[in-house]
Amino acid sequence: MAEFKEAPAGAPAGVRFMTWVDNRFPATQLFKEHMSEYYAPKNFNWWYIFGSLALLVLVIQITTGIFLVMHYKPDASLAFASVEYIMRDVPWGWLVRYMHSTGASAFFVVVYLHMFRGLIYGSYRKPRELVWIFGCAIFLCLMAEAFMGYLLPWGQMSYWGAQVIVNLFAAVPVIGPDLALMIRGDYVVGDATLNRFFSFHVIAVPLVLIGLVVAHIIALHEVGSNNPDGVEIKAKKDANGIPLDGVPFHPYYTVHDIFAAGLFLMAFSAIVFFAPEFGGYFLEYNNFIPADPLKTPPHIAPVWYFTPFYSMLRATTDVMVKVLCVVVALSVFMTLIKGRMSAMAKGAVLVAGVLGIALLLMLDAKFWGVLVMGGAVIILFFLPWLDHSPVKSIRYRPGWHLWMYIVFVLVFLMLGYLGIQLPNDAFTLMSQAGTLFYFGFFLLMPWWSRMGTFKPVPDRVTFHPH
């Protein structure tokens, strides 16, 4: 048991109070470890604000969610009316509801930008693999939270969007129908589904999400933050063990993040007060119509942050599956012709190729679409082992690598746009090309990430005070 410390005689009340707290809880020690004595690289740029903004939006979502739950009724016959009651009769209820709906989209905006920063600066590379994995788990958890919350207003798009997504699980071989039934809690999306989703959205998923955020931050502070140069600042320290290129997170970056939060809240408030529906992207107009199981909307599309993955789902048609069979066959043929392998290894490749083609043709394209949609997220977890570049940061990679990332972003945005539009042959073809590029970007990364002429990485971070 640690010895109790005594406050100096005549010390101010605040000092005496903190001494009393520190004797029972390591508040000052935690503040030092994670704020005032946590040394972050001194060359952070504006790409490094989105992590703290994501934490801010999480607080906004939890706070507004608590107030919404006070008046919301998780009942299929009352849910839509309770949302209208919040909007029209609860004092400032419209503001709380719009903050929550805008916050959902804002969460994905800052998380997508946060992940892109990690992508271009190699923040997933050794020794930060676990930081990245926790981050991807947060993203996956966030998607589940958003999907379940999307059903709760019980509008037309809420109901039919949930109907479409839940029915996708029925495409899983053998267990599909039972899995879809378990998720719905009934044979159709109804009161049981609403209650299940409400329970998960309000209690279960937020608890997991908060736990993952804490684990993400602890893992980050254990190995230290990355920086735009990809240089490990812990490699060079002064006589006191302080990194030469590090500055205390508090007050330097707390002030930086507070300023960024101020700018973010101005933009956030402008949307909440002047364009909460954001042209139908944040809140679809069909969702202001009560759910009607007897009237299907002409076009069912998820919210914008799901549309890139929904576009990949729709792109996986029977024709796409046959194209994939040809790709697998050509890959096996090239491996057998040019690969320097033993006869046994070639036999294994041939058998694997035949089995792969057989599976592609035997199972329904709808199932492969679900697998593609899920795989588009799961593949992110393996990024630390797919990137074989000798340097971390995009600053020191060949110039064409930057263009690869730019094209990747443009393709992702294109898939998001196509996921909102009514499908036609041209859009389907574009979605298929975009899906192939998305997976090719990651699956071929072990090869293209090593190609080109790399610039020398400096021993210490490059920093220009301003």
H, E, C per residue of 105-142: HHHHHHHHHHHHHHHHHCCCCCCCHHHHHHHHHHHHHH
Mean of the per-residue pLDDT values of the chain:
90
Structural domain contains residue 326? yes
Structural domain contains residue 298? no
Task: Concatenate the DSSP letters of all residues of 194-205 into one string.
Answer: HHHHHHIIIIIH
CA gap 29, 35 in Å, rounded: 10
CB 412 within 8 A of CB 344: no
CB 46 within 8 A of CB 261: no
CB 324 within 8 A of CB 369: no
134 and 208, same domain (yes or no): yes
223 and 112, same domain (yes or no): yes
Helix or strand holding residue 247 (H, E):
strand 246-248
203 and 74, same domain (yes or no): yes
Structural domain contains residue 254? yes
User: What SS3 string covers 391-456?
Assistant: CCCHHHCCHHHHHHHHHHHHHHHHHHHHHHCCCCHHHHHHHHHHHHHHHHHHHCHHHHCCCCCCCC
- Name the 3-class secondary structure at 39: strand
pLDDT tens digits, residue range 256-303?
999 999 999 999 999 999 999 998 888 888 889 998 888 888 878 888
Task: Please state the domain count of the chain.
Answer: 2
Half-sphere exposure of residue 269: CA atoms within 13 angstroms, side-chain side? 6
Structural domain contains residue 1? no
176 and 318, same domain (yes or no): no
Q: Which two tokens stand for residue 302?
A: 């998820």
Structural domain contains residue 463? no
At 305 the pLDDT is: 92
281 and 342, same domain (yes or no): no
Q: What is the CATH number of the domain that holds 216?
A: 1.20.810.10
What range does the domain containing 100 cover?
A: 29-288
CA gap 330, 318 in Å, rounded: 19
Structural domain contains residue 145? yes
228 and 100, same domain (yes or no): yes
Sequence-distant (6+) residues with CB within 8 A of 366 are 168, 171, 316
267 and 322, same domain (yes or no): no
Structural domain contains residue 221? yes
pLDDT tens digits, residue range 370-395?
888 999 999 999 999 989 999 999 99
271 and 337, same domain (yes or no): no
Structural domain contains residue 318? yes
What is the pLDDT confidence band of residue 72, given thresholds at 50, 70 and 90?
very high
- Name the 3-class secondary structure at 458: coil
Residue 26 CB neighbours (<10 A): 13
At 139 the pLDDT is: 96
Share of the chain above pLDDT 90, in %: 55
34 and 121, same domain (yes or no): yes
CB 187 within 8 A of CB 180: no
Residue 427 CB neighbours (<10 A): 18
